Structure 1
Amino acid sequence: MNNEQIITYINQFHFLRPLMLWFFVPLVIFLVQYIYNKRKTESWKGLIRKELRKIVILNQKNRKANLPAILMFFLLFLMIIGVAGPTFKQKKLPSILNKSVVWIALDLSQSMLTKDISPNRLERAKLKVRDLFAEKLNTKVGLLVFAGTPHVIFPPSLDKKVMVPYMTTVKPRIMPVKGTNYELMLNYIDTLTQKEVAPATLIIITDEVTEAQAQLIEKYRNTSKGFVQVWVASSFNGGFVPSPYNSRRELKYEGKSILSKADRSLLKRLDQQERIKVIPLTLDNSDVDALADHIKKHMVIKTDADKKEDDWRDDGIYFIYPIIIFGLFWFRKGWMVNWGLVLLIFLSSCGVESKHPDWWYTKDYQAQQKIDNGNYAEAAQLYTSYANKAYAFYKSGDIEAAAAVYEMDSTATSQYNLGLMFVELGNYEMAQSAFRVALKRDPSLTQAKESLVKVKIELEKKNGKTEASQDNDKDTSQAVKALTEKERKLSDNDYNKKKAKQADAEKQKLVDPKKRKYKEQDWPEENKKKKDRMNQVSAASMVMEKTNADPSEFLRKKFILQRKKYYPQVKNPKKAW
């Protein structure tokens, strides 16, 4: 290491967390207090004549007695420096951070379903996009789809795996406006890339380009600083566009089938333009490799002005080694005894009665300590469980509060205790209801059975009845009538929900069969037994089973809302393919 490097390290030295250096203030105060106490405790030595001190005082030059204190202050000093994060130089980044952005614009017009290439143009394009995602491009990639209107599926991101589930399910039917509107798409891309530091690369995956669309691409190239690549997903001879209503039939316009075929001469002319590249989709990865080479040539790496504080190397970790080494001396004989008193003084403020008991104990532990001391009202405020909170209210004498808390707990034991609270309050009707609920929750709860019999006797005495037993049917009807108002409401809600689900099921039967693809697709003939089994499960399970997990449906609804908000004036064109 030469002098220039030393000077560079000195100039670059700083702390990543300088606020931690404020811990030196209490450390200095502690050191001054220690020195003051040390001198005060040794002040009696001045009363002895200097000639006699050597005889009276043994080992007066024993400096080892102060060694634990010196070592403790030194360790605290190292800990504060280490936590503050001293640094001398910046990190060596494992990879270059490329600021260039790649936008993929996937054409979702009807002509992309043409089967001149297997399985069709759109599926081949999706496979190529997946190959592109699998390539380590070291740049952010965004995904956009367009037809009559453009829509972003995912903004530029280094994590390309999250885009795959959405990208693989996109279809022309999710687009709110049909056709192929290059003007809106290119203007949208231009808006998205205006704030980018590096020139963006736009990859248009389509099947054909018209003269008007080629002119729009050239205009975008002239007005922006980015690059354009047109990936052509069609064969040389082209193919007939399938109908959106029946893929086995051809789409017709003015009585003629529509032939979708790329203009090779036009694409060749585009390929000769500066910053425009036309690449036909290939079976191998040559097109993806060409994109990777393009990104490497035009990448813009992170500049020095963009480096953040996190890019500096934290050298505070190296202070842990001397701390561990010197910390081992604390286990020498006598050191733990002498300086363990400091730890005891610190921990003496950790009791339940301290200013911050939550730092050391849970709420339930604090409440239990209050119970042991007889402070039931305070314990009730601290307990987190219903059963313990209600018990604390009961012990404090607040029976009504205890009953209210027990009522919030649906367990058999809490309902039994709720009945006891109602007995204390003299409300035998509510007590009878609570005991019945407890028995319903746990039929083996003998205490609830005995209490229910006693409550019945009290009610008979109160109402002037002499017969101690009643018919089973009558007993059952009384049990239902004796349910609390809360449980009756719950029962009514369950009944109303059941009726609402049945009404929804009847409405769904009247929905257009094209929108009810669930019953058409999810129950093939060989799975009739599975259908029969599913018909026997609960309504809640059926609702979960019928939930549409296809991301394309989510995207379709999202694009409809975006079209209404941003493109209300855009209509379906006559040539909607």
Structure 2
Amino acid sequence: MPEFLTGLSYFHFIRPWLLLLLLPTLLAWWLTRRRLAPRSQKPAGMADHLAHALSLDGHRRRRLLPVDVVMLATALVIAGAAGPSWTRVPNPLVAPTAPLVLALEVSESMARRDIAPSRLERAKYKIQDILANRAGGRAALVAYAGSAHLIAPLTDDPQVLDSFLSGLLPQVMPEPGNNATLAIEKSGTVLDAETSPGAILFVADEIDRADIPALQSYLKDGGAPIILLLISDDDAPAEALRGIRGLRLVTMTPDDEDVAAVSRHIDAAYRAALAADDRQKWEDRGWLLFAPALLLALLWFRRGWTMRWAVGALAALVMPATPSSAEGLADWFWTPDQQGRRAYEHRDYAEAAGLFEDLDWRGRALYRAGQYENAAEVFDRLESVDALIAKGLSQIRQGSYREGEETLEQAVARDPSSELAARNLEVAQAILAYVDHARQTSGADDGADEVVFDDEMEGGQDAQPIESQELELQAAEQWMRTVDTRMQDFLKIRLSLETGGGE
């Protein structure tokens, strides 16, 4: 219910001036109904109530007339044309789900075995289930006890987080305790560097009363939404936190109900933050009102309900003002861009790319469909900084790392204040440096284009870096296997060094 009320608070009309058409519509309905009202002459000397009771048309005034249905259908069409909206259109070039920071309590109390196999292990299972429900969403991992540490930065690979989760035990934490205040600060720092709205998920058996003021202050100052998943069979920790305004509290359940509740809270937090982002367009939901209007139009097939002028009026409102083809039934009711949006929302990106006339959305659909070369060509026809970023990402995805880096450098040069362009340029440079390093350490010949991509090819066509990609994957797998065997020792040394370094 709170999520519904939050969405309702953003309800508005994109084109509110079209609602003025309701005034002449109401006037026409009133005049027409008045004209259709029965006019009966009462016999002289007869009482009004007797004349009304003896009249065959005594109840006609109360009967539903065709003009009433026409009025309702026309009002629905006008309201739909005005563009009711309560959600923003998410940018598909940014992560489709909110970036999430997982703050896991790794204290001595989490090692208790009152919840099998232990509170900490159950918390890890819940985190894995939550990550499995967020396919494509990025997540970071923060572990805290007496100190807080960023274990893994934002990543869209759950396996990376799983490997670190396996090594998190109270023994590896440099300081004992349960300092959630430090975890809030560390998690907030991660999300402050993001351009898209995110959320913080605490997974703990309790929040110490000393940390409640910091929690309240963070939420009051407009910090990222905080969801707390309590790993405890005791109701006392939950009761102490229910009065915190803005905190979404979820108690552990033996099934997946708590995981589903956490996912709903994360999605609601993302939608609320997106609705407050003025950089994104509002999503037009007018089509929801056109469907009942068309159903009401079916009543005109009844005998005595035909109103030809009403059909013409509705056709003038529904049909597009510009000429359009009607090769299919959908073309009668939706524009190609609207059909493309429907296919895009159903994740049929290849079909959406063929439907979109808007170049920006066509490029985005091609990018999502994995047709990176075609996407880069489409974005090359646009002039915005976002289009340059998208073109650079498309080039990187198809293996043209050098070209992608140069395109992102152009985006940064055009808009130095763009954090999205700067961050993606850093990622591109890191990828390029990593591939160069993998090439050098593999002993491959620098001039062998068939092994790695050619950095300075002038023909405009890059060699496909297939073997280089295999080297990257092999190096990553070897690293993960090495870390897995010594994860606890690795984390213990690393966190001790961080604490000794003053973090």
| TM-score normalized by the length of structure 2 | 0.40
- TM-score of the superposition, structure 1-length normalised? 0.35
* Bigger Rg, which one: 1
